[in-house]
């Protein structure tokens, strides 16, 4: 069973296109967490994966906006199915 199909949290890069996920935890230093907060990426917030590339950034829907999140950021944002 894939972790993305369970109730456990997993890195955002494991989410599939069109998945709606809820942010559980942001792992990283203070500067990284502040960057996420400034973009509205906070625990409890829902995101929808719009477009995903194999090893690059992903296009996400957040609020009424679209944002690109790089692979390194994707690996430090933990989510679960919404």
- Please check the confidence at residue 5 and state whether its pLDDT lies above 80: no
**Would you kindly state where each structural domain of the chain is located, as residue ranges?**
3-81
Which residues are CB-contacts of 12 (< 8 A; sequence separation ≥ 6)?
A: 21, 47, 58, 69, 73, 74, 75, 77, 78, 79
The per-residue pLDDT for range 32-67, each reduced to its tens digit, is: 999 999 999 999 999 999 999 888 899 999 999 999
CATH fourth-level superfamily of 3-81: Ferrous iron transport protein A (FeoA) (2.30.30.90)
pTM above 0.85, yes or no: yes
């Amino acid at each position: 069973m894939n972790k993305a199909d369970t109730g456990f949290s997993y890195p955002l890069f494991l989410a599939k296109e069109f998945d709606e996920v809820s942010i559980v935890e942001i792992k990283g230093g203070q500067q990284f967490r502040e960057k996420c907060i400034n973009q509205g990426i906070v625990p409890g917030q829902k995101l929808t994966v719009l477009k995903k590339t194999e090893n690059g950034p992903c296009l996400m829907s957040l609020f009424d906006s679209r944002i690109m999140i790089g692979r390194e950021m994707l690996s430090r944002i933990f989510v679960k199915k919404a």
